[in-house]
Amino acid sequence: MTRPIPFQLVDCTLREGEQFAGASFRSEQRLQIARALDAFGVEVIELTSPVASPAAARDAAAIAALGLRAQVAVHIRCCTEDAFAALACGVDAVHLVMGTSPELRQHSHGRDIGGILAAASDVIPPLLAAGCRVRFSCEDAFRTPMRELLRVAQAVEGMGVHRIGLADTVGAATPDEVSQRIASVRQAVECAIEFHGHNDGDCAVANTWAAYRAGATHLDVTVLGIGERNGICALGGLMARALQSEPEAVSRYQLTQLPDLDALIAAAAGISIPFNACITGPHAFAHKAGLHTKAVLSNPASYESIDPSLFGRQREILVGHALVGRHAVRDRARSLGIKLEGEALQRATRSLKALADHALPTPLLIEQMLRQHAEQPSAEGVQSTTINHLPS
Ligand code: HCA
Ligand code: CU
């Protein structure tokens, strides 16, 4: 018996991601990114509305024609003009969005709940009749009074949508609030539920996980979390979170492709992979303090909750710094074919610490020191002025 897929990933890099201040992808980049997302295994690829620009429409049609395994969707306003433009692109799915909070009702589209439902009933039937998958998302759902949110959710489900989206548009919800709201909507409707969480309060990944645990079936991500302001739930962050709790939930994705995917988007968006990115951050698997390296060398799981090799990454044991411990020094020596034990090891470690207090030694200098201590067990350290600002 095959197990049901626990959740589906809706990747919004080519929609929300392009709303990141630094991102303006060219057509060939959009196609390359769509292919890479498909190869990673995301289930849905969301694209910018075809009414945004001529290239957006051309690229949506081109991506829809690639024959990807992933479902291709365009993200549009809930109006017939956009809906017909979406159908003209030949996409599999249409993601409708409309603000339901008092703030957006007043300052965005100016309609009350009755007006929102009227717009939905104009747009949803022709899309369904054309054979499209349809998702209706309540923008700013977490500032929408619960009664009104449930009214909209039940009404659009009645119109036949395949999925209802709840967006934490201003990134202010907490995991508890997300759990409660998703659970209430889960009780009120039978269709699939999608969650889209912004990161303004640094809870996007936690909120997305809470949404899944409370019954959301579709989770929005972007590569590196890029999006409006400081973005949304990062694909890598969600993979890390899932692996820590339910590794089987992500086993169908090509996890070893994540570093290349993150690098692709970083380059296209003109940024570096952030130092604190889960999994692909440059030092995500670097161990430094002596206490840590001793235990990691004995068993990596002592300070690692995620195995770097699952993502094709390697752990690093840093020795070129003052916090170094003798186990790490011995390990580095061993990897260089140098046998360093007992008193010589102690002295080499002390010399390294004393040196690093003044300047971080280069890998070459470290090697020279280790050799010198191994060959001259009574030597009290080596002097050098070589400086490397990155401990290695
Ligand atoms: C936007 C807002 C949105 C929509 C999310 C959704 C949000 O259109 O830019 O369609 O579910 O965060 O509310 O990204
Ligand atoms: Cu958003």
* Tens-digit pLDDT profile for residues 242-301: 999 999 999 999 999 999 999 999 999 999 999 999 999 999 999 999 999 999 999 999
What number is the average pLDDT over the span 5-22?
Answer: 96
Angle at 208 (CA atoms; ends 196, 260), nearest 5 degrees = 85
pLDDT bucket at 376, cuts 50 / 70 / 90: confident
* Range of weakest confidence among 5-9, 127-131, 173-177, 204-208: 5-9
Ligand nearest to the CA of 167: 1
| Residue 1 located in a structural domain | no
Mean pLDDT of all residues in 176-189: 98
Number of independent structural domains in the chain: 2
Q: Check whether residue 250 and residue 320 sit in a common domain.
A: no
| Sign of the four-CA dihedral 170, 171, 174, 175 | positive
Residue 386 above 50 pLDDT? no
Q: Do residue 131 and residue 253 come from a single domain? A: yes
Residues 69 and 178 in one domain: yes
Is residue 315 domain-resident?
yes
Catalytic residue numbers read 292
Nearest residue CA, atom 12 of ligand 1? 169
Residue nearest to atom 5 of ligand 1 (CA): 167
Pair (335, 230) in one structural domain = no
Residue 333 structural domain: 286-373
- Whose CA is closest to atom 4 on ligand 1? 139
The tokens for 233 are 């739930």
Ligand 2 centre distance from Cα of residue 267 (Å): 22
Claim to verify: residue 254 and residue 307 sit in the same structural domain: no
In a domain, residue 128? The reply is yes
| Burial of 190 (C-beta count, 10 Å sphere; 0-12/13-18/19+) | exposed
* pLDDT given for residue 5 in this prediction: 78
With 70 as the cut, is the pLDDT of residue 228 above it? yes
pLDDT at position 292, please?
A: 98
In one letter, which amino acid is 175? P
The CA-based angle 30-34-37, given to 5 degrees, is 135
What is the pTM (predicted TM-score) of this model?
A: 0.94
Among 149, 143, 153, 11, residue whose Cα is nearest residue 72: 11
Ramachandran region, residue 13 (left: φ > 0; alpha: ψ -120 to 50; beta: rest): alpha
Q: Are residues 139 and 254 in the same domain?
A: yes
Number of Cβ atoms within 10 Å of the Cβ of 28: 10
Rounded CA-CA distance 388/207 in Å is 40
Q: Best of 75, 138, 194 to mutate for ligand 1, by most ligand atoms within 8 A of CB? A: 75
Ion ligand 2 residues within 5 Å by Cβ:
16
User: Are 239 and 250 within 8 A, CB to CB?
Assistant: yes
In this structure, is residue 384 part of a structural domain?
no
Tell me: do 233 and 330 sit in the same domain: no
- Ligand 1 centre distance from Cα of residue 12 (Å): 10
pLDDT value of position 390: 47
For residue 66, report the distance from its CA to the centre of ligand 2, in Å.
26
Three-state secondary structure call for residue 139: strand
| Residue 386 lies inside a defined structural domain of this protein | no
